[in-house]
């Protein structure tokens, strides 16, 4: 039974928000701090848990709504994003009910395109060029509490987490856009919203993490996460008003959007290995819960299947997981809705990844 609870710890530790290409779902850190039986060493008060999770994806599949824009690949004018992100998470277990964590993300992004370069002439038809960003992302802290006493409810429990996401990541990161200055010279400009290191807002996070042990070697898990960003925009110019004036005039400044994530799955333990499989949905809403929702954002969501494998070696756990997208949708933004008529529905596009790969290590200090 302890093995099931141990893998739930690792599974929840490895839950990360991650960018899906142009739908900029940024790192949100370890979603859950611990799960388990009160006899487990992970539940002892005064203990520490450290988790390092690294993920990678490449996005280049464009969608308008849920319609795949295959012509973009054939024409060679698709946007390609690459991201490596490492989340360093430290968890303090106070007792069998309370815990707290801090997550520090380090992010490296690269984005290549044609339309952001070669402007205003030959937009989307010139040479492909890249922009980059690297550095600290948005740091998050959170506190967690089990709603039921683990001693009297060892087979199932629900954890609530409340946190604060700080605007520590650079949200006005700049790199050189090619052929956009006087005489076709490079010009230092803000990189695209999807590869910014932060969103520029102080946000509030709410989490729910639950588990059910259904048999000796079988367990179920579920997670829900919501980040609320009250700030409407961060004041950073997007240069989108140069792409399609005047329709995109109100997208000249970057929005600070909310984001959400939900997971559901099961675990099966055999010897020192645990196999997990589930489904995952995450995205950016069109409208925020608190504050304004105007300015520029690419709302949308992706649904993925999520198999993973964990190897347990004493206090150390090694794990890897793969999120494989099965449904992607770029929903209408506020600008799209305002530009639509009864005769014409406007829906911007966004590039999504086919998959994301996670590898990590977690151990008790």
Instruction: Judge whether 333 lies within some domain.
Output: yes
Tally of domains in the chain: 1
pLDDT digits (tens, 9 = 90+) for 269-287: 999 999 999 999 999 999 9
- Asked, as a colleague might, if the bond just before 338 is cis with ω within 30 of 0, I would say no
What are residue 50's DSSP bridge partners?
90, 363
pTM of the model: 0.90
Rounded to an integer, what distance in angstroms lies between the CA atom of residue 309 and that of residue 323?
Answer: 12
In a domain, 128, yes or no: yes
* Terminal Cα-to-Cα distance of the chain (whole angstroms): 22
DSSP designation for 252 = S
Model confidence pLDDT, tens digit, residues 106-153: 999 999 998 888 866 666 667 899 999 999 999 999 999 999 999 999
Q: How many CB atoms lie within 10 A of CB 118?
A: 21
Report residue 179's pLDDT band, with 50, 70 and 90 as the boundaries. confident
Residue pair 199/17 in contact (Cβ under 8 Å)? The answer is: no
| Within a domain: 63 | yes
Beta bridge partners of 108: 84, 134
What dihedral do alpha carbons 87, 93, 94, 99 form, nearest 10°?
A: 50
Domain that holds residue 61: 2-360
Q: What is the pLDDT of residues 299-321, one digit of tens each?
A: 999 999 999 999 999 889 999 99
Q: Is the dihedral of CA 323, 87, 16, 68 positive or negative?
A: negative
Report if residue 161 sits inside a domain.
yes
Residue 259 within any structural domain of the chain: yes
Q: Is residue 85 part of a domain?
A: yes
Nearest alpha-carbon partner for 137 in 110, 104, 101: 104
Cα separation, 251 vs 238, in Å, equals 7
* Domain containing residue 49: CATH number: 2.40.160.40
Is the pLDDT score of 1 beyond 90? no
How far is it, in rounded angstroms, from Cα 26 to Cα 208? 19
H/E element, 164? strand 156-165
Paired tokens of 181: 């200055």
Cβ atoms of 10 and 362 within 8 Å: the answer is yes
CB 227 within 8 A of CB 18: no
pLDDT score at 126: 76
365 is a domain residue:
no
Q: Are strands 140-146 and 129-136 parallel, antiparallel or unpaired?
A: unpaired
CA 86/CA 358 separation, integer angstroms: 10
């Amino acid at each position: 039974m302890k093995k099931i609870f141990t893998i739930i710890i690792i599974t929840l530790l490895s839950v990360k928000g991650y960018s899906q290409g142009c739908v900029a779902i940024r790192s949100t850190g370890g979603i859950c701090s611990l799960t388990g039986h009160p006899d487990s060493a992970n539940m002892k008060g005064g203990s520490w848990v450290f988790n390092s999770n690294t993920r990678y994806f490449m996005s280049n599949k464009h969608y308008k709504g849920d319609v795949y824009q295959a012509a973009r690949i054939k024409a060679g004018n698709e946007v390609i994003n690459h991201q490596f992100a490492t989340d360093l998470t430290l968890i303090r277990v106070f007792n069998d009910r309370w815990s707290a964590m801090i997550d520090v993300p380090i992010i490296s992004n690269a984005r290549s395109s044609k339309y952001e370069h070669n402007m205003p002439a030959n937009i989307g038809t010139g040479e492909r060029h890249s922009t980059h960003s690297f550095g600290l992302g948005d740091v998050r802290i959170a506190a967690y509490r089990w709603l039921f006493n683990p001693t009297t409810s060892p087979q199932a429990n629900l954890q609530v987490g409340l946190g604060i996401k700080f605007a520590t990541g650079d949200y006005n990161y700049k790199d050189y856009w090619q052929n956009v200055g006087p005489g076709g010279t490079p010009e230092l400009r803000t990189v695209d919203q999807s590869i910014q290191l932060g969103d520029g807002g102080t946000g509030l996070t709410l989490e729910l993490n639950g588990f059910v042990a259904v048999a000796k070697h079988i367990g179920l898990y579920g997670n829900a996460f919501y980040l609320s960003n009250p700030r409407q925009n961060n004041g950073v110019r997007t240069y989108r008003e140069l792409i399609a004036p005047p329709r995109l005039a109100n997208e000249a400044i970057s929005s600070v959007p909310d984001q959400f994530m939900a997971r559901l799955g099961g675990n099966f333990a055999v010897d020192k290995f645990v196999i997990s499989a589930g489904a995952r949905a995450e995205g950016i809403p069109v409208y925020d819960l608190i504050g304004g929702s105007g300015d520029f954002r690419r709302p949308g969501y992706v649904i993925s299947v999520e198999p993973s494998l964990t190897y347990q070696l004493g206090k150390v756990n090694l794990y890897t997981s793969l999120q494989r997208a099965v449904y992607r949708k770029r929903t209408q933004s506020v600008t799209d809705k305002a530009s639509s008529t009864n005769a014409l529905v406007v829906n911007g596009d966004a590039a999504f990844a086919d998959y994301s790969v996670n590898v990590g290590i977690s151990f008790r200090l």
